[in-house]
Structure 1
Amino acid sequence: AVVSPKVFGRYVPERKDDFAWENDKIAFRMYGKALEGTNENAYGIDVWAKRTDKMILNEWYKSGDYHADRGDGLDYYSVGFTLGAGDIAPIVDGKIVFPKNYRNWKIIDNGPLRFTFQLDYEAWDVSGTQVKVSKQFSLDAGSQLNKVAATFSFKKDDGALPVVVGIVKRKEQGAIVSPMDNKGVVGYWEPAHGKDGILGIGTIMLDPQSKTMDTDSHVQQLAVAKDGKAVVYYTGAAWNKAGTITNAEEWFSYLNRFQSSLKAPLTVKIN
Structure 2
Amino acid sequence: MRFCLLLGMLAGFAAKAIGQQATLKITNPGNTSLSQTVVEIPWATVQKAYPKVDTAQLQVVQNGNEVAYQLEHHGQKAIQNLLVQVSIGPKQAIQLMLRRGKPAHVEAKTYCRYVPERYDDFAWENDQVAFRIYGAALNGRSDNAYGSDIWAKRTDKLILDRWYKQNDYHKDHGEGLDYYHVGLTLGAGDIGVFLNDSIQYIHNYRSWEILDNGPLRSTFRVKYDPYTVNGITVTESKTISLDAGSQLSKVQVHVVHTARQPLPMVAGITLRPEESPLLLDEKTGVLAYWEPTHGNDGTIGVGCVFPKASVPMMRKYQHGLAKLYTKSGETITYYTGGAWDKAERITSSDAWFTYLRQFASQQKNPPVVTVTK
What residue number does 2:60 align with? none
Corresponding position of 1:113: 216
Residue by residue, what CA displacement relative to the aligned partner does 1:16-73 show, whole Å, maximum 9, x if unpaired?
Answer: 0000000000000000011111111000000000000000000000010000000000
Question: Which residue identity is paired with 1:105?
Answer: W
Matched, 1:166 2:294: no
CA contact (8 A) 1:209 1:223 kept: no
| Equivalent-residue separation in structure 1 for 2:280 and 2:122 (angstroms) | 33
Contact kept? 2:205, 2:225, Cα under 8 Å: yes
Q: Please give the per-residue CA displacement for 1:79-103, whole angstroms capped at 9, x wherever unaligned.
A: 0000000001110122111123100
Segment of structure 1 superposing worse, 149-158 or 178-187: 178-187
Give 1:200's aligned residue. Answer: 301
Percent identical residues: 49
Report deviation, 1:182.
3.6
SS of residue in 1 equivalent to 2:352: helix
Residue in 1 aligned with 2:321?
Answer: 220
| Counterpart pick for 2:258 among 136, 142, 155 | 155
Q: Could you say what the CA RMSD is over the residues aligned between the two structures, in angstroms?
A: 1.2
Q: State the partner residue of 1:64.
A: 167
How far did residue 240 of structure 1 move? 0.3
Q: CA deviation at 1:183?
A: 3.5
Tell me which of 291, 311, 320 is aligned to 1:190: 291
In structure 2, the partner of 1:85 is 188
After superposition, what is the alpha-carbon deviation per residue over 1:141-190, rounded to whole angstroms, capped at 9, x for unaligned?
A: 000001100011112222x10000000000123x1112535441011000
Alignment of 1:113-152 (within 5 A): 113-152=216-255
2:87 is aligned to: none
Amino acid at match of 2:278: V
- Show CA shifts across 1:122-157 (max 9, x none): 001122111010011010000000110001111222
Q: Offset of 1:210 from its aligned partner?
A: 2.3
Q: Is the 8 A contact 2:284 2:310 kept in 1?
A: no
TM-score by length of 1: 0.96
Structure 2 residue 110 is matched with structure 1 residue 13: no
Gaps of 5+ in 1: none
Conserved? CA contact 2:280–2:314, under 8 Å: no
**Per-residue deviation, 1:109:** 1.2
Structure 2 unaligned spans of 5+? 1-103
Equivalent of 2:342 in 234, 241, 255: 241
Give the CA deviation at 1:225: 1.2
Task: Give the drift of 1:216.
Answer: 3.9
TM-fit CA distance, 1:266: 1.4
- Residue 105 of structure 2 corresponds to residue 2 of structure 1: yes
Distance 2:164 2:260 in 1: 46
Cα separation, 2, equivalents of 1:257 and 1:101: 32
Secondary structure at 1:139 match in 2: strand
Shift of 1:105: 0.3
Q: Distance in 1 between matches of 2:277 and 2:232?
A: 37
- Greater shift in the superposed pair: 251-260 or 95-104: 95-104
Matched residue, 2:281: 180
Q: Does 1:44 align with 2:137?
A: no
Aligned to 1:232: 333
Amino acid at match of 2:224: Y
* Aligned mates of 1:66, 1:51 — CA distance in 2: 13
Q: Which of the two has higher C-alpha Rg?
A: 2
How far, CA to CA, are the matches of 2:314 and 2:284 in structure 1? Answer: 11
Count matched residues. 269
Q: Which amino acid aligns with 2:161?
A: N
Cα distance in 1, alignment partners of residues 246 and 272 from structure 2: 25
C-alpha contact 1:183 1:212 (8 A) present in aligned 2 = no
Q: Is the 8 A contact 1:183 1:211 kept in 2?
A: no
Q: Which residue does 2:77 correspond to in 1?
A: none
Q: For residues 229-260 of structure 1, give each alpha carbon's deviation from its aligned partner in whole angstroms, at most 9, with x where no partner exists.
A: 10000000000000000000000000000000
Q: Distance in 1 between matches of 2:277 and 2:283?
A: 15
